Structure 1
Amino acid sequence: MIGSRWSRYQCDLDDLRQTTNATALILQRQYGNLERYVQRRLHVSSAYIDRLEQETVLRGHQGCVNCLEWSSNGRILASGSDDFSIMLWDPFRKKCLRNIPTKHSGNIFSVKFLPRHNNALIATAAADRYIYVFDVNRHNEAILSCSCHVARVKRLATAPDSPFVFWSAGEDGGVLQLDTREQHRCNSEGNRVRLVNLEYIDTNAEAKCLAINPRRTELLAVGANDPYARIYDRRMLNPISSYVSDGGDLLVNGVDSIAGVIPKDCVTYYCPGHISKDNSKLIEHDSRAITYLTFNASGTELLVNMGGEHIYLYDLLNAEQPVFLSLPEYKPSPPTTESDIDMSGLNNSNNADEISSSPGEITLSHSNRRKLPEYIERYKKMGNDFLENEKYLRAVEKYSEAIELAPSCSVLYLNRATAYMRRLWFGDVYAALRDCHKALLLDPAYIKAHFRLARALLVLGRPQEADECLKELIARFPSYASNHGIMMLHKDIKENRQMSQSQQQPQHQQHSNTDQRYNSLERTDIEHQWRSKAKDYSKRYVGHCNTTTDIKEANYFGNDGEYIVAGSDNESFFIWERNTCKIRAIYKADVSIVNCVQPHPEICLLATSGIDHDVKIWSPVAPSPDERPNLVEYVDKTVEDNQQKMKMDPFNMNAGMNAFCLNG
C-alpha cells in the first residue's frame, strides 16, 4: 500500500514539474499531499515573473531608503532611511503600521528583525557608529545600545536558530557578536564582543557586509573593501574586547593588537579567478569592494555583489581554485572526416565554429562534435547569428541556453568563448578561458579550443602559459606548426614576453620607492596564502552597474533560488535566470539608483528602494506580459551603457558616491 501511494505521489509530482501554468498547479494540489510543492512552484512561476509590475508605492520617509527587511512570516516590511527613522509597513493593506524615531544621528544602513520574538525586537545600524535594539512593545525604547564600532556600521546579520545573538559589520574592519541577554558596556576591557578584526588584512580594511549560513549557522560570510569573500567558522574564533585606547588603537588585555588570532583553518576565501590571481599580493588601492553577500536557503551557495564588477555565485560544495592552464590527456587517433580538424578559424580567433559530422553519423568517433538535435541546432544558429551581428549579449544568452539543454557539446562552449572574447567586458576573457577548458575536457582533440585557450592566456597577461599551451598544441598536432594563425599567435606571445621582461626592472625600482606603509602591507604572509588559495566562482550575472553606492544588494528570488535580483545605478533593478544567467527583465524603479531589492519569503512579491524617499512593491499585477509600463525595453543598450559606466575612473565613482545621500 505504501509503495502504491509513493508511486502515485511520484507520478503526480512528475506531472507538476512539467506544469508551468499557475492555475493548473493550484487545481492539481488537491490530488495527493502536494500542497507544499505547489506553493514552492508558485512562488516564482514563469507566469508570475512575466507579469511583474509595480503594485504600490509606500510613502512616509523623508530621506533615501537604504535598507529593507521582511519579517519571517512576510506580513511586515521594515525600512530604514536617512531620516533616522524605522518604518513598519503592511504592504498588503498599503499602510504604515509604525514609525519608530530612533536615536541615530546618521543614515540608517541596516535593519533586522531578531528571530523568534514575534517581530517585536528590531536591530538597527547606522553611519553614526551606533547599533540599537528596539522593543516595539515598549514605546520604541532601545533595550540595547552599542557604540563599540569606531566607524560607520554597514550591515547586521541574524541566524534563524539564535533569537538573542546577532552580528554587525563596520568600516573600522570589525565584526561584532552581540547578545541581547548580556549587559553590554561599550569599549570595556571585558565585553568580548569583537569576533573578527579585518586589520589583519591591512590597516585600511573595512567590513562592508556579512551573512550567516541559514543551515550551518556557525559559518559567517564577510565582505570587505576588496574582492575577496571570506567565510569564517565561528566555532574557531575567540571574541576579544572592543576596548579602544585614547589613541584610537585596539587593545586586548592592555596589549596593542592588530587583530585576534585567526586560526589557519578557520577561514576560506572566494574570489573570481581573473581577480584573485592578479591580487594575491596585497594592493593598497582597489576600486572593487563587496557591497552585499548572502547564502541560498540550503546554505550550499554564496551570492556576492561586487562593486565595480559583476555578481558572482560560488558553489560552496564544489568550488575549486582557478585553473589557467591544464590540458587533458590526448591520445591521437585518425579523424573520421577532414572537417573535424578544420583550422580555417585559426587566422581569426573570433571565428564561430560549426559542428561537423559525417552524413548520418550519430555515434562519437574521435570527437563529440556530432550533429545536435534540431532544437539545439536552432539555439546554436541563433547564437551564431547574434555573434556575426555583434550582439554579444544575446549570443552569450543563446549559447548558455543551449548548454543547459546539451551540456556535453564542446562546440557550444567554444562558441560562447568566442562571444566573450569579442565582447571584452570585465571578466569576459577569463570566462572564455573557462569555456575553452570545458570544451577540451569534452573533446581533447579540439584544435580550435587549444588555440583559443592560448589566445585567452595571452590577453589575460600570462604569456608564459600561453606559450606553453601553443607549444603543446604544435606537439599534439605537428602538421599545423606552419599554420598562419598559429605563427601569428606565436609572434604575439614572443613580443609580449619581451615587453614584460623589459618592464620588470623599472617596476622593481618603482616598488622599492614606495612608502613604508605600503611595504608594511606585505608583512601578512598568512593573508597572502589565503588569497592565493581563493576558490573560483560557479556562475556570474552581468548587466547591472554597481559603482556609485556600496550598499547595493543581490538576492535569490524563489524558494529554490530560481532567479537572481539586484539593483543598479541606472534607475533600475534586474532579474536574471539563475541557471542560464540570462537577463529575464529590467524594471525602472527609481529616479537614480536602486540599492535594495528584497524578495518576499513566501510569495511572488518584491520590495525595492534607493535614492527615492519611498518603497515600491512589485507583484504579478500586469494583465499580460506586454502591459508593463516600468519594464525596460532596450535591454542591450541599457546593459552596454552600464558596462561603459563601470570602466569610468574610480576617483570619479567615489565622487559620485558622496553625492548620493552618503550611501557609499
Structure 2
Amino acid sequence: MRAGREQEQQQQQTVREEQKPSRAAEEAMPAEGTRMARLWEREVGRLPPKRFADAVMASEEFVHSLGIQQRLWNHKGAVNSISFNSSGSLLLSASDDETAVMWNLDEAASTLKFHTGHGNDVLDAQFMPLSDDRSIVTCGADAEVRHSQIQEGGCVPTNKLAGLRYMVTQLAVQPGSHTFFSCVEDGSVWRFDLRQKSPRKLFKCGAVRRFDYLSGETMKLYAIAVDPRNPSCFAVSGDDEYVRLYDTRKIDLERSKFGLPVEQFCPQHLVSSKKLGITGLAFSQTGELLASYRYDNIYLLSREHGLYSNDFDDIHSQKLPVPQTFKGHENKQAVKGVNFLGPNCDYVTSGSDRGHVFIWRKKDGELMRVMKGDKRIVNCVEQHPTEIVVASCGIDADVKIWTPGDNENSSPARFHEVCSFFSLRYYVFDMDCYVLLLHCLSSLV
C-alpha cells in the first residue's frame, strides 16, 4: 500500500514538472491584474470565458481600447434602434426605410431583411422572449404597433396589433414573457400580450401641476423601460422634467384615466424647468435609473432621490440628495437613448448630437472616452449580453460594431481571431508557445 502511494505521488510530481512552464515562459508571463494576465488565465483554464469577458469589460482598459471593428450596411435610412437577442448571437436593427434587419455578428452579415409593414419610420424593434428569436415587435411614426413572425424559408408575415393615432415612440419588453409595453406621443401607455387578441390601454400620463396634482392635460412620452429586478414595474418619461415609476399591480383605472405613479424623480434644481424633456431611460441590474435630459445632463437616480419617498411637498423647504451627473454630450435634436456598460453597470454611455459616443465612469461621473460614431448624430448604444462587443447607430445608414482596438483597419479583428483560435475546446496548451502568443497579442493591441 505504501509503495503504491509513493509511486502515485511520484507520478503526480512528474506531471507537475512536465506542466511547469519554461524559464522563458515564466519571464513572459504578464503582470497580475493586466488584460494579458486575464487572457493567460483564460487560456490555461483558470478563468471561464464569461468571467474573462466580464473582467475585461469592467476594466478601464476596455473603455480606452474600443474601436470600430465593423460597419454593417443594409439600410437605406437612419437607424433608430438596435437590440441584441438574449444570447447575443443576433442583432436587430430598425430604420427610417421601414425595414428591420437581423445581423449575424460572427459573419458580419445580415441574415434577414424584411419590410415591417409600417408606412413610416420604424422607431423601435425588439425580440420577444419564448419565441426562439422568431417573434419581433415594432413601433413607428405611423402610430402603429406591429408583430412580425419569421417562418421557415425566411418569409415574414406581419400583422397590426394596434393603430394609436399618434406616434408610438418606444417599446419595453417584460423579460421571460409574452408581454410588452409601448409609450405614445399622446401620453398613453399600452400593454400588449401576444396571447390575447387586443392590447390594453393602461392610462394616460398626466401633466404635473404643483408637483403631485395631476391636471387635465397630457404630455408627450418619449421613453419607457422595465425594471429587470421587478418586471411589473416600469418607468416612463417625456416632455417634462419628471421620471414616473409605475407598478402594474397598483394601477387603478376606475378612479381616474390618469395613472398615479408609485414614485417620481427629478433632480431638485430641475423641478419646474418647463423647457426640459427626458428622451432616454435605462435601469441597472440593481434598480438604479438613468435619465437623459434634453438641453441638460444625464442623471443617475435611485430610491433616495424619489420625490414621494422624501415627502417633497415644498421644493423650497427640503434639500434632496444630489444624483450622480454625467456631463459633456449634447441632447437637443433627435431622441437620444442612454445605457449602462460593463457586467456590473460600471459605466454610462450615450450618443450625442455631434456624432460621438460618450462613456463615463458611473461611480464618480468622470468622462472616460469620446469616440466618433456617426457623421451627424448617434442615437443608441447597446452592449452585447456576454461578449466584449458594443453596437451603436444613428443618422448614418449603418450599424457600428465596437471591440477592443484602435481603429477599424487594424487590431480588433485580428485580436478577435487570435483569441478565438486559442479558445478552442480541445487543444494541447504548450507553455513555451505562450511566449509566441504574448508577442502576437502585444503587437495587435
Superposition TM-score, scaled by structure 2 size: 0.76
Task: Select the structure that is richer in strand.
Answer: 2
1:410-469, Cα deviation, whole Å (9 max, x unpaired): xxxxxxxxxxxxxxxxxxxxxxxxxxxxxxxxxxxxxxxxxxxxxxxxxxxxxxxxxxxx
Q: Are the counterparts in 1 of residues 391 and 400 from structure 2 also a CA contact under 8 Å?
A: yes
Look up the SS of the partner of 2:237 in the other structure.
strand
Equivalent residue, structure 2, for 1:588: 372
* TM superposition shift of 1:19: 5.1
Is 2:75 aligned against 1:61?
yes
Q: Are the counterparts in 1 of residues 169 and 185 from structure 2 also a CA contact under 8 Å?
A: yes
Equivalent residue, structure 1, for 2:328: 543
Is 2:308 aligned against 1:319?
no
Equivalent residue, structure 2, for 1:142: 158
- Alpha-carbon distance in structure 2 between the residues aligned to 1:532 and 1:140: 58
Q: 122-131 or 605-614: which moved more?
A: 605-614
Consecutive unaligned residues of structure 1, counting only runs of 5 or more, are: 1-17, 185-190, 241-256, 280-285, 323-526, 629-664
- Alpha-carbon distance in structure 2 between the residues aligned to 1:273 and 1:116: 42
* TM superposition shift of 1:43: 2.8
Distance of aligned partners of 1:66 and 1:537 in 2 relative to their CA distance in 1, 3 Å threshold = farther
Q: How does 1:509-588 map to 2 (within 5 A)?
A: 537-549=322-334, 551-588=335-372
Equivalent residue, structure 1, for 2:423: none
- Match of residue 35, structure 2, among 22, 29, 44: 22
- Alpha-carbon distance in structure 2 between the residues aligned to 1:99 and 1:537: 46
Q: Are the counterparts in 2 of residues 154 and 171 from structure 1 also a CA contact under 8 Å?
A: yes
Equivalent residue, structure 1, for 2:430: none
Q: Are the counterparts in 1 of residues 58 and 344 from structure 2 also a CA contact under 8 Å?
A: no
Look up the SS of the partner of 1:203 in the other structure.
strand
- Alpha-carbon distance in structure 1 between the residues aligned to 2:49 and 2:84: 23
Distance of aligned partners of 1:96 and 1:32 in 2 relative to their CA distance in 1, 3 Å threshold = closer
Q: Which amino acid aligns with 1:196?
A: F
1:62-109, Cα deviation, whole Å (9 max, x unpaired): 111111111111111111111100011112211011111121111111
1:103-149, Cα deviation, whole Å (9 max, x unpaired): 111111111111121111111000000000111127211255211x2
Q: Are the counterparts in 2 of residues 271 and 535 from structure 1 also a CA contact under 8 Å?
A: no
* TM superposition shift of 1:202: 5.0
Q: Are the counterparts in 2 of residues 321 and 534 from structure 1 also a CA contact under 8 Å?
A: no
Equivalent residue, structure 2, for 1:170: 184
Distance of aligned partners of 1:136 and 1:320 in 2 relative to their CA distance in 1, 3 Å threshold = closer
Distance of aligned partners of 1:98 and 1:36 in 2 relative to their CA distance in 1, 3 Å threshold = closer
Is 2:257 aligned against 1:260?
yes
* TM superposition shift of 1:623: 8.1
Distance of aligned partners of 1:34 and 1:598 in 2 relative to their CA distance in 1, 3 Å threshold = closer
Distance of aligned partners of 1:623 and 1:74 in 2 relative to their CA distance in 1, 3 Å threshold = same
Distance of aligned partners of 1:528 and 1:67 in 2 relative to their CA distance in 1, 3 Å threshold = farther
Look up the SS of the partner of 2:279 in the other structure.
strand
Look up the SS of the partner of 1:54 in the other structure.
strand
Look up the SS of the partner of 1:27 in the other structure.
helix
- Alpha-carbon distance in structure 2 between the residues aligned to 1:531 and 1:85: 50
Is 2:65 aligned against 1:51?
yes
Distance of aligned partners of 1:201 and 1:141 in 2 relative to their CA distance in 1, 3 Å threshold = farther
Distance of aligned partners of 1:195 and 1:33 in 2 relative to their CA distance in 1, 3 Å threshold = same
Is 2:196 aligned against 1:196?
no
Q: Which amino acid aligns with 1:268?
A: E
Equivalent residue, structure 2, for 1:273: 268
Give me the CA root mean square deviation. Answer: 3.0
Q: Are the counterparts in 1 of residues 174 and 226 from structure 2 also a CA contact under 8 Å?
A: yes
Equivalent residue, structure 2, for 1:606: 390
Look up the SS of the partner of 1:294 in the other structure.
strand
Q: Are the counterparts in 2 of residues 154 and 170 from structure 1 also a CA contact under 8 Å?
A: yes
Distance of aligned partners of 1:20 and 1:100 in 2 relative to their CA distance in 1, 3 Å threshold = farther
- Alpha-carbon distance in structure 2 between the residues aligned to 1:47 and 1:532: 45
Equivalent residue, structure 1, for 2:108: 94
Equivalent residue, structure 2, for 1:422: none
* TM superposition shift of 1:534: 11
Equivalent residue, structure 1, for 2:275: 287
Distance of aligned partners of 1:262 and 1:101 in 2 relative to their CA distance in 1, 3 Å threshold = closer
Q: Which amino acid aligns with 2:284?
A: N
Q: Which amino acid aligns with 1:612?
A: D
Equivalent residue, structure 2, for 1:153: 168
* TM superposition shift of 1:209: 0.7
Q: Are the counterparts in 1 of residues 145 and 162 from structure 2 also a CA contact under 8 Å?
A: yes
Superposition TM-score, scaled by structure 1 size: 0.52
Look up the SS of the partner of 1:86 in the other structure.
strand
Q: Are the counterparts in 1 of residues 68 and 407 from structure 2 also a CA contact under 8 Å?
A: no
Q: Which amino acid aligns with 1:133?
A: H
Q: Are the counterparts in 2 of residues 314 and 537 from structure 1 also a CA contact under 8 Å?
A: no
Distance of aligned partners of 1:223 and 1:533 in 2 relative to their CA distance in 1, 3 Å threshold = farther
- Alpha-carbon distance in structure 2 between the residues aligned to 1:623 and 1:67: 24
* TM superposition shift of 1:238: 4.2
Q: Are the counterparts in 2 of residues 320 and 536 from structure 1 also a CA contact under 8 Å?
A: no
Look up the SS of the partner of 2:234 in the other structure.
strand
- Percent identity among equivalent residues? 26
Q: Which amino acid aligns with 1:101?
A: H
Aligned residues: 369
Q: Are the counterparts in 2 of residues 568 and 593 from structure 1 also a CA contact under 8 Å?
A: yes
Look up the SS of the partner of 1:80 in the other structure.
strand
- Alpha-carbon distance in structure 2 between the residues aligned to 1:221 and 1:207: 11
Q: Which amino acid aligns with 1:22?
A: R
Distance of aligned partners of 1:206 and 1:534 in 2 relative to their CA distance in 1, 3 Å threshold = farther
* TM superposition shift of 1:25: 1.8
* TM superposition shift of 1:41: 1.3
Q: 551-560 or 43-52: which moved more?
A: 43-52
